[in-house]
Amino acid sequence: MRIGGIPGPAQFLRLLHINRVLVRHGLDEIVLATHLFRPVGFLRHLLPWNWVRREELHLSRGERIRLALEDLGPIFVKFGQMLSTRRDLMPDDIALELAKLQDRVPPFPGEQARTIIEKAYGQPLDIMFAEFSTEPLASASIAQVHVARLLNGREVVVKVLRPAIEKVIRRDVELLYIVASLAQRYWKEGRRLRPLEVVGEYEKTIFDELDLVREAANASQLRHNFQDSPILYVPEVFWSETRRNVLVMERIYGIPVGDIAELRRRGVNMQKLSERGVVVFFTQVFRDSFFHADMHPGNIFVNADDPDDPRYIAVDFGIIGTLSPTDQHYLAENFLAFFHRDYRRVAELHIESGWVPAETRVDEFESAIRTVSEPIFDRPLKDISFGGFLLTLFQTARRFNMEVQPQLVLLQKTLLNIEGLGRQLDPELDLWKTAKPFLENWMRDRVGPRAVFNRIKYYIPRWADQTPDLPNLIYGVLKQAHTGDLTVRLQRQELEQLRGDLRRASRRNFHAAVGAALIVSAAVILGFDAQHGVDLWHAPLLSWLLGGIGVGLLLSAWPGEG
């Protein structure tokens, strides 16, 4: 991938088209800041459309950027959606506006989809399906979905990638790299927002979504994690019919979670539904460390067959987040410390986890966290945004050189989605009240007696498997010791001894320098007193005292001492 290179003829034309769209939406200051147009930047004031107040300029910068991305097409729309999740990098006004981007893309012809699927299978569609509807059920920037029926009668949906989509994405991603490089070099906000890093993250995410076998594996794992769960249902994957560009899954029926009016009409228990959304999220994050990271309303449905016992149904598993056990532990402890307003512990946890540099001063970090957190507690807990707290915490940590943690960014995005959705269903949702017992139980299971028992139970089979080999292992170690093959351990001990010698030598040098300084000071005081006869607090006594301390320090710095 060329980064910041000179665009070719086709790219140059595409770049001109992008610039035209930006200018049309009143974003010409970004265009004229690039090195391509910078020499003629003064012409901005001579351009006819700048002589009058354009309608677009009445809109906020976030609205203008959103409209420009919509005009540039599906790849840029998806890029805008990803940018909306980078609240650690994007100003709030832009991030909130980009979050409104909808993936509404015109479908491609159904017959073309049929041809792509037949090519993937290497045989006519009639051999694989009893029925196949060429009319798309839904269409997005990467793929579209068709309804079908298997030969055994099962109703399914068939997700098929858009034709030549990989080529289109590669072209536009390369252009994004060029634009990002120009922005980082010439736009005043460029260095702070790190556009090259953002495009790199987008490239990885979008190319992962092009592999539908990977998405199928994600769905299968999530289905296994919530097998027989009363709160979340994940459709079945049909592996024999799935290919890299074709995914076949069980067809589900449900009410879109964003259709609040229909949910209320059906008498759904909205309080239970909103609380279950929070439980689903925390279960995925802390029990499984495998969470659906694209849980916007378009990907979530509700089974309302029993209105008092509603159940979520999830679709679209292209983006999945995971956390290491270390991240899980520190995240849970962070939340609990915040619950108890223990800001020092929050600061310590960030340093212990390696999220901020080890040399960070705990007291300064604690003070910064307290400054942004205390005002939050002036409001009722139910009015405090959990996701907003996480965002504020990460933004504060960025001032202390916290590196971007991609897994935490995905988590933050998902939490904001879940929280917004939950409060849309039930404005009185107290996410803290729901989350706190969950986190306390999780921590108890991790560090209490039950955790020790579970770990022993987990490792017993492994220990039993390795026990017969112990005599041979012991013999091998003793033999290596006899033949001198344990030199590495001895060298490590020698290195530790060398480090100790260096520390002692450094201490001796310090003592010698201070001792010499004190002796010189004593001599200066005596000389000053003898020459000017000024009574400087018993100058002789003071000089002898300083000199004595100096001699003592010099002696302590002598080799063999200290």
Please give the positions annotated as active site: 294
3-state secondary structure 336-404: HHHHCCCHHHHHHHHHHCCCCCCCCCHHHHHHHHHHHHHHHHHCCHHHCCHHHHHHHHHHHHHCCCCCC
3-state secondary structure 47-92: CHHHCCCCHHHHCCHHHHHHHHHHHHCHHHHHHHHHHHHCCCCCCH
* Element spanning 134, H or E: none
Residues paired with 255 in a beta bridge: 302
Asked if 526 and 545 touch (Cβ cutoff 8 Å), the reply is no
Asked if 202 and 79 touch (Cβ cutoff 8 Å), the reply is yes
**What stretches of 448-556 show up as alpha helix (H) in DSSP?**
449-466, 470-483, 487-532, 539-556
**Alpha carbon distance 235, 256 (integer Å):** 15
Q: Which of 184, 209, 187 is nearest to 195 (CA)?
A: 184
**Alpha carbon distance 277, 296 (integer Å):** 12
**Alpha carbon distance 336, 330 (integer Å):** 10
